[in-house]
Amino acid sequence: MPIEVKGLTHVYMPGTPFEARALNDVSLSIRDGEFIGIIGHTGSGKSTLIVHLNGLESSSPGVVFVNGVDLGLKETDLIAIRRTVGLVFQYPEYQLFEETVEKDVAFGPRNLGLSEDEIKARVADALRMVGLPQDVAGKSPFELSGGQKRRVAIAGVLAMQPSMLILDEPAAGLDPAGRREMLELIKGVHDTGVTVVMVSHSMDDVGRYCDRLYVLNRGEIAWYGTPAEVFIHEEQLHEIGLDVPECAKLARRLRKSGFDIPEGLYRTDDVCEAILRNLRKGSDATC
């Protein structure tokens, strides 16, 4: 389910004093099985971009192809697209509405007209994928903790068995342990073959999990590439309100101070080993 975006431009409230250009000539491509990170500060266009990826919004100029299908064409079946491109909004726990967790997760599959058996199986699968015990199925979602509610909301999207999952800030507001668990959960989904697009403010998180990054600034793609390729632009990223992982910062500072450290290091393991190589010449550097 590859996605191709070409020259996408989106203007909010055109022709009014509040006219705002949220996206300007954005092009990107997402291949099957990738784990993509989209970063940018508030108002950079991230959220506007992702609602285009499953046809919730459409704009011109610009085209969005999902699996080769142009979402802008009248005859395109957007409902079918939304089944395969699952979108998890920011703070999705606020979207829960049913009496029980089971009913909430089943809402999508039921609308697909699946059999009761199939719906049951999908709900069980989805709850397992998000790491919730099956006995929460009968509970009201409103009895659960914030982190559990968010898992229920994600389960509701997974129950549609999408081949691509787009998540807007999935770890926002969680405590550090909850954050790690949420990211591992998403990695687990990715490991089953689902393409993942994750919007995040955290360079540490995208650095750890993503294959490639797109950095948005004022509605345009400022940089893209592997995390190492993007983190090289530390100063410019800082200017647009973004940080690089602390280890990337450290590696750069050490290089300036005369350490022999290759460019593009940002993982703790790699930086740790590079430091040891510098300080213990001759001996084995393992970290």
Binding stretches for another protein (CB under 8 A): 18, 41-43, 145-147, 172-179, 201, 204, 241-243, 245-247, 249-250, 253-254, 257-259, 268, 271-272, 275-276, 278-280, 285-287
- Bond into 133 cis (ω within 30): no
Which residue lies nearer to another protein by CB, 103 or 277? 277
Strand partners, 167: 88, 198
Shortest distance in whole angstroms from residue 275 CB to another protein? 6
Question: Nearest approach, Cβ of 242 to another protein (angstroms)?
Answer: 6
Closer CB to another protein, residue 12 or residue 111? 12
Closer to another protein by CB, 93 or 102: give it: 93
Least Cα distance to 62 among 230, 221, 224, 225 occurs for 221
Q: In angstroms, what is the minimal distance from the CB of 270 to another protein? A: 11
CA distance 248 to 240: 17
Q: Which residues pair with 3 in a beta bridge?
A: 30, 66
Among residues 47, 7, 53, the alpha carbon closest in space to that of 30 is found at: 53
If the CB atoms of residues 18 and 117 are measured against another protein, the closer one turns out to be 18
Which H/E stretch holds residue 121?
helix 116-129
Residue 173 has φ and ψ, to the nearest 5°, of 80, -5
| Structure tokens, 92 | 């999705």
- Find all residues with CB under 8 Å of 211, minimum gap 6, and list them: 34, 35, 36, 226
Shortest spacing between CB 200 and another protein, in angstroms? 10
**Please, what is the minimum distance in Å from the beta carbon of residue 76 to another protein?**
33
Spell out the residues 6+ positions from residue 77 whose beta carbon is closer than 8 angstroms to its own.
Answer: none
Considering beta carbons, is residue 61 or 241 the nearer one to another protein?
Answer: 241
In the chain, the amino acid numbered 173 is G
User: Which of 61, 173 has the CB closer to another protein?
Assistant: 173
Shortest distance in whole angstroms from residue 40 CB to another protein? 8
